[in-house]
């Protein structure tokens, strides 16, 4: 069952130390998708205890996101998905294709492993430009 979650503001916890000194910090907006029920409950409970985080939606199937089925007002910072290790990179890529500014945290339910995916611009300084340098760069880029 897919449902949006609306959380109210929570006060800072005293034992969080210096991390929460700024009580006006923006809350991280998190979507849970395709997690097995027990894992979803654990992750949801963990996030619920953090005053700077908020679950904004829960989706039974992560494929809904990669098909463009996620529209959350205010955007999404992190999508947490349950994924088999063989498919987590493919799933993360399809989600990031739709939500490039978000990050994707994949959690393997059985093995307890996790991975974080994000898109980052990557710059390679090429030095002085010449016709041959342009041709070489284009060939190298095509090989990647």
Give the CATH number, domain containing residue 56.
Answer: 3.40.50
Q: Which domain holds residue 15?
A: 3-143
With a CB cutoff of 8 Å and minimum separation 6, the contacts of 11 are: 23, 51
Burial class (CB in 10 A: 0-12, 13-18, 19+), 108: middle
Q: Is 104 strand, coil or helix?
A: strand
What's this model's pTM, rounded to 2 decimal places? 0.67
Number of compact structural domains in the chain? 1
The per-residue pLDDT for 52 is: 94
Query: Is the per-residue pLDDT at 13 higher than 90?
Result: no
User: What average pLDDT does the segment 99-117 reach?
Assistant: 85
Nearest to 54 by CA among 83, 75, 38: 75
User: What average pLDDT does the segment 111-128 reach?
Assistant: 83
Nearest to 85 by CA among 118, 62, 113, 116: 113
Q: Give the C-alpha distances (Å, rounded to integers) separating 25 from 22, 90, 117.
A: 6, 33, 24
**pLDDT, tens only, 55-92:** 998 888 876 665 555 666 677 899 899 887 777 788 88
């Amino acid at each position: 069952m897919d449902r949006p979650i609306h959380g109210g503001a929570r006060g800072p916890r005293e034992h969080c130390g210096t991390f929460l000194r700024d009580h006006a910090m923006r809350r991280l907006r998190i979507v849970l998708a395709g997690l097995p029920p027990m894992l979803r409950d654990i992750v949801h409970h963990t996030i619920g205890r953090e005053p700077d985080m908020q679950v904004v939606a829960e989706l039974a199937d992560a494929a809904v996101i990669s098909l463009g089925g996620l529209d959350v007002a205010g955007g999404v910072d992190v999508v947490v998905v349950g994924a088999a290790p063989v498919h987590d990179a493919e799933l993360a890529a399809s989600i990031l294709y739709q939500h490039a500014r978000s990050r994707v945290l994949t959690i393997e339910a059985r093995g307890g492993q996790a991975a974080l995916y994000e898109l980052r611009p990557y710059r390679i300084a090429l030095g002085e430009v010449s016709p041959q340098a342009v041709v070489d760069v284009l060939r190298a880029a095509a090989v990647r």
